[in-house]
Amino acid sequence: MSLSITTSTLADGAVEVSPSGEIDVENAYAIKDAVAEQLAAGRPARIQLNMQNVTFIDSVGISALVSAFQLAGISGVKLSVTRPSRFAHRQLWVTGLLGLFGNPDPCPDCADPVQQPAVSGA
């Protein structure tokens, strides 16, 4: 699966960057580039990474998130993660980075992409 990223401006002036799909070694820095584009376009009140549709994120993806956080911080803009999928939430928790991104709760209505369906007749 590939990665797509959409951006929108929320009513309070925050910019929402919403990746969808897998964030891995092939495309991870597209997240940082999307944040850099928003910072270059003007100084938003804050940037929210809505990660509800992220089905996979590897260590390079985590590194790209940290780079985006640092880039926003240098510009004086707060970057946080919102609505992380259960997989993304687990990866941020395991790496000890959940607090860096605002301690978001996992998306309550998002499917767990690694959850396997029950096998019947076994």
Q: Which residues contact 15 (CB under 8 A, 6 or more apart)?
A: 7, 8, 9, 38, 44, 46, 47, 48
Read off the pTM. 0.86
Apex CA 110: angle with CA 105 and CA 115, to 5°? Answer: 105
Average pLDDT over residues 84-102: 95
98 vs 108: CA distance, rounded Å: 16
Q: How confident is the model at residue 90 (pLDDT cuts 50, 70, 90)?
A: very high
Query: What average pLDDT does this structure show over 58-72?
Result: 96
Name the DSSP letter for residue 115. P
Domains detected in the chain: 3-94 (3.30.750.24)
Predicted confidence band of residue 113 (pLDDT cuts 50, 70, 90): low
* pLDDT(96) > 80: yes
Q: Which residue has the tokens 């070694």?
A: 25
Instruction: State the pLDDT confidence band at 107, using cuts at 50, 70 and 90.
Output: confident
More confident call, 120 vs 41 = 41
